Structure 1
């Protein structure tokens, strides 16, 4: 099982923040319009994925970082092609990685080329560079992509380190991916498929997302007042994520009885102390639900220990989604938080995704990283289409940050709205439950509303 856990990553944005470092991505750029009600009635209701409410929260693009003109506005562009390269951690010292993101992106770009390209241009994809979770290498590879490869954009960008940021900001290089690092927040060049997952403190004071509250309402059939424990890694950004989840749960009407990040990034060697603390956190009793914001190996170990202790409550585990985890019986009856529709969805868009993988990469499992790479590339293709034939770096970013650009895929990937989602994540989520060695879609992808606490 050890080898399985090292191969199965299954990370989502909130779980991936365990290794993030801070970056110079600038301020929040938020303005303060007239206040909306603290918690609108629809905030925790499962609503449409394209027309979710921003609760009157606005963003001033002039206050976001990386807003200058490109020194080389035609970088990577020819009459017949546009050059793109990726950056991700496809390997790492502890064996956990986002391998598969490269495959997902490559096959989506290949499909675009097979369909004739975008606005008459093929995508010259130079591949995904692997930083191996090394901050120095991360920065070096970013410089290489810009200075040697002369890429127009970086897609996908899915790293835990943010060494890339200064180079991409200085050279005004747009990047597309998934919020696995803080570089997607507070600037005009980073475009995450779910928006900014690690908002600044200034933004968090003004607006929040329903997040865990939306899922708790689903799990407890609308009943509030239940108790919740949140546990994460001992890192600064993991602490921020746990704190944000606690805020979401409280706004939704749930009582957070445990809100700590005691687990070292290297993982648990002995889970006894953590399990005892969690299972007695509700006045000596176990909480009604536990949210485990760690990586897949730690999630499995903690789940096994909780089950062995006799815990019968709800378990929500963002990391526990990967076809290879179906062999681990202790994960039965756990709930997995997702930021887009799962592979089990039968929507037309997910059917198309699965057909693309079957055609272009038949050996690739439909893991979270693989799907994230695919959707990151799809977003870039969509952005190119909207930017038109007369393409420069500056015209491209002007189109995306104009206030009218949105990107989403019906019943597969919830809409992001720009520049709003440069500073806050979209209020959308999905959930599957692991039952009898199968994932079952128990909450279709849906959105609540942004919340003005």
Structure 2
């Protein structure tokens, strides 16, 4: 009789929402496996590989991860359609690392109304850190406004009389980053920003925008662009003989996916911000966490490019999600998933820079708030200065 009571009590302690059971945890994702932002597709591929590794090792608290990652082509209407399918037909427990600012904006209200965890969104827009207005959404990387404020501070220090040109994507992502730059320059913004040029994700090239910006006689260029267009800009700037101090936003700093297609020789001198360890930097060759990552890549994702920083990015986010699910124990309700996601304390995935730790709370849905400037030397990113904790 006692055994029966204890068994019933243990069973009663298990709590599940759609997508969770004794056997598995179903996770949904939308990504641009096609379209103008398809360079980011590797995020989903490396995460699928990591979840296979987790399953091979017994899953999370004995439950397999069932990962459903679907193509949205970086088209907001498609993102909404696919996300509804994941939530209403696939019955996923949560959405994870959905890519892109405009695409996530398309589902922001929907997932919060449905009370579906919208975790570690793969975009740096500041609006993902809104635990009061949108408590079911949580960001991942340092936000775009913070990043461009760091660039502004560096410009004011290194070139206080600069004429600045800005290339930006004409959507919430680009405008968010542009606002951060203006805010960082403060009262000097109007006098220092000499030209701005936007592009649409449907554009074939941004050559005309680069020529327009060069004509402003700017000596600083802030490149707020996704991978395809960032590579085009780097190449065009070099080919026309323009030599500005060139800041490249973090989401496009992958050596494998952006700088190599642009031309490594044409990328020398670029400045960006980093928070992950650069897989092309020899300094991490003997780092235990990066050795573990390389071993994982060899076994579970051998076709993956070990020079592509997005493979480090996606791996780190997947490790963080597994930590959240471990913390959930047998309470795999959506409410508890959010409770545990908002209860990360100095968690390290191993692939972030030393000093970059994940910290969240019910009032802070921004896991990472530290970064470091770096300059490209033709082979890898070389760190400049020290890690900047923007929360300070």
TM-score, normalised relative to structure 1: 0.68
Verify: 1:76 aligned to 2:15, yes or no.
no
Change (3 A) 1:260 1:426: farther
Matched with 1:98 is: 40
1:276 Cα shift? 0.9
Matched with 1:291 is: 222
TM-score, normalised relative to structure 2: 0.77
CA contact (8 A) 2:316 2:351 kept: no
Q: How does 1:224-373 map to 2 (within 5 A)?
A: 225=160, 227=162, 228-250=164-186, 256-258=192-194, 260-265=196-201, 266=203, 267-270=205-208, 271-277=210-216, 280=217, 286-287=218-219, 289-318=220-249, 319-323=252-256, 325-326=259-260, 328=263, 329-345=265-281, 346=284, 347-366=287-306, 367-373=308-314
Change (3 A) 1:306 1:394: closer
RMSD: 3.4
**CA-to-aligned-CA distance 1:193-220 (integer Å, 9 cap, x gap):** 225x36xxxxxxxxx74x3454677799
Instruction: Choose from 166, 183, 188 the match for 2:135.
Output: 188
RCO comparison, higher one (Cα < 8 Å, 6+): 1
Matched with 2:376 is: 434
Bigger CA drift: 382-391 or 332-341? 332-341
Change (3 A) 1:365 1:212: same
Change (3 A) 1:260 1:416: farther
Matched with 1:53 is: none
Unmatched tracts of structure 2, length 5 or more: 1-14
CA contact (8 A) 2:16 2:331 kept: no
Q: How does 1:156-235 map to 2 (within 5 A)?
A: 156-159=97-100, 160-162=102-104, 163-180=106-123, 184-186=128-130, 187-194=134-141, 197=143, 209=146, 211-212=147-148, 214=150, 225=160, 227=162, 228-235=164-171
Whole-Å separation in 2 of the counterparts to 1:165 and 1:213: 25
Verify: 1:128 aligned to 2:69, yes or no.
yes
CA contact (8 A) 1:84 1:153 kept: yes
1:129 Cα shift? 0.7
Bigger share in helix:
2
Matched with 2:86 is: 145
**CA-to-aligned-CA distance 1:318-361 (integer Å, 9 cap, x gap):** 32423253361322332343342221351433332222112100
Whole-Å separation in 1 of the counterparts to 2:33 and 2:316: 17
Whole-Å separation in 2 of the counterparts to 1:120 and 1:310: 58
Matched with 1:387 is: 328
Whole-Å separation in 2 of the counterparts to 1:379 and 1:258: 41
Does the residue aligned with 1:192 lie in a helix, a strand or coil?
A: coil
Matched with 1:7 is: none
Whole-Å separation in 2 of the counterparts to 1:136 and 1:256: 37
Change (3 A) 1:394 1:303: closer
Change (3 A) 1:244 1:360: same
Whole-Å separation in 2 of the counterparts to 1:395 and 1:106: 23
Unmatched tracts of structure 1, length 5 or more: 1-71, 199-207, 281-285
1:249 Cα shift? 4.6
